[in-house]
A and B are shown apart, each in its own frame.
Chain A
Amino acid sequence: MEQFLYAAEVVVNGLMAGVMYALVALGFVLIYKASGVFNYAQGVMALFAALTLVGLQNGQVPFAHMINATFGTHLDTFGWTLPAIVAIALTALVMVGLAIAIEKLVLKHLVNQVPIILFMATIGLAWFLEGLGDVMWGADIKMLDVGVPKGASEALMTVTEQWTGYGFYIDRLDIWAAAIAAMLVAALMVFSQYTKQGRALRAVADDHQAALSVGISLRFIWVLVWSIAGFVALVAGIMWGSKSGVQFSLSLIALKALPVLMLGGFTSIPGAIVGGLIIGVGEKLFEFYVGPLVGGATENWFAYVLALIFLVFRPQGLFGEKIIERV
């Protein structure tokens, strides 16, 4: 019994971790669906959003190092602390600005190019954003605190202890992340199903030519979808940043999103979520049962091996569009 309950706790924690993976994968799916671009920069966008958020919140002067080095000044902070909600709203605006800049400076010039070219462009974008984040806000590790509760949920622990005699340890941050992710996905679904821009977005995702013929501006839709992806990156950045601090390694969470996408399919939002959950639970359970036998640290590779297996047997993922070649 004790063993079973412990496993159940592992599963719940896996689900929570899975939600965090799904958050990142979601940003990839949105852009891939609307423009067929695999946005390598999605992880860096999350890092950049988190850096900007911390910077704004703490009143850091952007480009302080550069300005100081050039003009011999000693700028550091503006000396204010913004309320979390204001800083988040401002960061969201920055992400919209970034989306507009990306469309104007990159995508616009690459219309009708093959996907690999656009993919390469997003690799460039990733490097650029990474550098920009460093130069703007400094390369040191930062703490992010926007008021998301952290630490074990006492209430849950007490309740589970009363019922089963075993207190579940679940981080409150994970519960919040799951709740926020669920709301985000619900909001995105409603937006794409019931609003005119959502309809236009689905139209563009389906057929560019037909979308043009009914008067949809592709460029507007691209800005819109990159803005939404920027916002999703911000949410992911907040959650991951609150959990483990804002630093370069934050951008590497994008790597964990890859197996999620291979499982869920690149074109399916529900797929991104289910994929994230499967990976989250899978790697925790695998570590729990198999880990001790092989010396542990299976979490580092389990997701990728699972993705490889999927690539061999079901390359379109669980929910992706079937790959059918007409001859």
Chain B
Amino acid sequence: MTPTTSTAPALTDPAATDSAVQPHVTADGRQIGGVLMDMRNITLRFGGVVAIKDISFDIREGEIRAIIGPNGAGKSSMMNVMSGFYVPQEGEVWFRGQRRPQMKPYEVARLGIARTFQNIALFDGMSVLDNIMTGRLTMMKSSLLEQALWWGRAEREETWHREKVEKIIDFLEIQNIRKTPVGRLPYGLKKRVELARALAAEPKLLMLDEPMAGMNVEEKEDMSRFILDVNDEFGTTIALIEHDMGVVMDLSDRVVVMDYGRKIGDGTPDQIRSNQQVIDAYLGVAHD
């Protein structure tokens, strides 16, 4: 994507978050567009436990949006609502300017929302290549009959998707393990394969649930680089949950902070850093 000159107003009032949400071009030349996904007044309960309480936030095209918060804040629940695994009791999910009706997770995936999981959900018995190919299943149009007889579109399609997948494999630097069964890979590489599978779907929104959890410093740096590259080169909008504050502040354009199911902060990393409620939630406050 070639950077274009900004027509958006310059940042004048640091207190207003509006400056960040107008369509604009970031300092490093990435284009931030209109609202892609809008979560409106989401409330999610499990029996008597309120996991998410009346939270609203939006994700704009082209940005990296982080959701952070202490353990049990409801971050993963939020991501599960976004990807259709959980159905909220209240609130609306808007995607690309339309209210998304209640959908099954696989229908959400077909809308162009791909995700990874906190605990890695890969197909352990299948090779890396096959795993990534599953990411393109929804894009394959040939019918069951054509596939069964390996006739008509089936073969052309397979070749075409295979080429696309090879590009992603090159991009994420996992060429040497493409035939390895995923079950045998070390943790860090599994995370990368899961990212590759999500990317293979060419998603409009890529959601990463703790992409760096359990990684060492080196792996974290690699993963950060890949996330930035994906966003930069493909212009993919990314929503991510992460624990490592340093990583979040470096990566993201805007941050939502959750604590006990509530939203306690929303803004640029700088704004979040100086938000007293956020500091309290993370460092704790003396109750006396």
Q: CB within 8 Å of B: which residues of A?
A: 191, 194-200, 202-203, 205-207, 209-218, 224
Task: Note all chain B residues with C-beta closer than 8 A to A218.
Answer: 106
Contact between B142 and A216 (Cβ–Cβ < 8 Å)? no
Once bound together, how far apart are the Cα atoms of A197 and B157, in whole Å?
13
Task: Note all chain B residues with C-beta closer than 8 A to A211.
Answer: 106, 123, 134
Task: Note all chain B residues with C-beta closer than 8 A to A202.
Answer: 123, 125-126, 130
**B88 in contact (CB, < 8 A):** no
Q: What range describes how many residues of B lie at the interface?
A: 20 to 34
**B86 in contact (CB, < 8 A):** no
Which A residue sits closest to B194, measured CB to CB?
A210
**B184 in contact (CB, < 8 A):** no
Binds A, one of B36-44, B147-155, B277-285: B147-155
Task: Note all chain B residues with C-beta closer than 8 A to A197.
Answer: 144, 147-148
Task: Note all chain A residues with C-beta closer than 8 A to B130.
Answer: 199, 202
Name the distance in Å between B214's Cβ and chain A's nearest Cβ.
Answer: 16
Name the distance in Å between A92's Cβ and chain B's nearest Cβ.
Answer: 13
Name the distance in Å between A236's Cβ and chain B's nearest Cβ.
Answer: 20
Residue in B121, B144, B148 whose beta carbon sits within 8 Å of that of A210 in the complex: B121
Contact between A203 and B104 (Cβ–Cβ < 8 Å)? no
Task: Note all chain A residues with C-beta closer than 8 A to B140.
Answer: 196
Q: CB within 8 Å of A: which residues of B?
A: 83, 85, 104-107, 109-110, 114-115, 117, 121-126, 130, 133-135, 137-138, 140, 142, 144, 147-148, 150, 154, 158, 197, 201
Known: A199-B130, A213-B121, A215-B137. 14 other contacts (CB 8 A): A194-B150, A195-B147, A196-B158, A200-B134, A200-B137, A202-B123, A202-B130, A209-B121, A212-B104, A212-B106, A213-B105, A214-B134, A215-B109, A217-B104
Task: Note all chain B residues with C-beta closer than 8 A to A216.
Answer: 106, 134, 137
Once bound together, how far apart are the Cα atoms of A240 and B137, in whole Å?
38
The 8 nearest A-B residue pairs measured at CB: A210-B121, A215-B109, A206-B123, A215-B138, A195-B147, A212-B105, A196-B140, A215-B110
Task: Note all chain B residues with C-beta closer than 8 A to A198.
Answer: 147
Contact between B123 and A207 (Cβ–Cβ < 8 Å)? yes
Residue in B106, B114, B150, B201 whose beta carbon sits within 8 Å of that of A195 in the complex: B150
Once bound together, how far apart are the Cα atoms of A215 and B106, in whole Å?
4
Once bound together, how far apart are the Cα atoms of A205 and B134, in whole Å?
13
Name the distance in Å between A248's Cβ and chain B's nearest Cβ.
Answer: 33
Contact between B105 and A210 (Cβ–Cβ < 8 Å)? no
Once bound together, how far apart are the Cα atoms of A197 and B105, in whole Å?
18
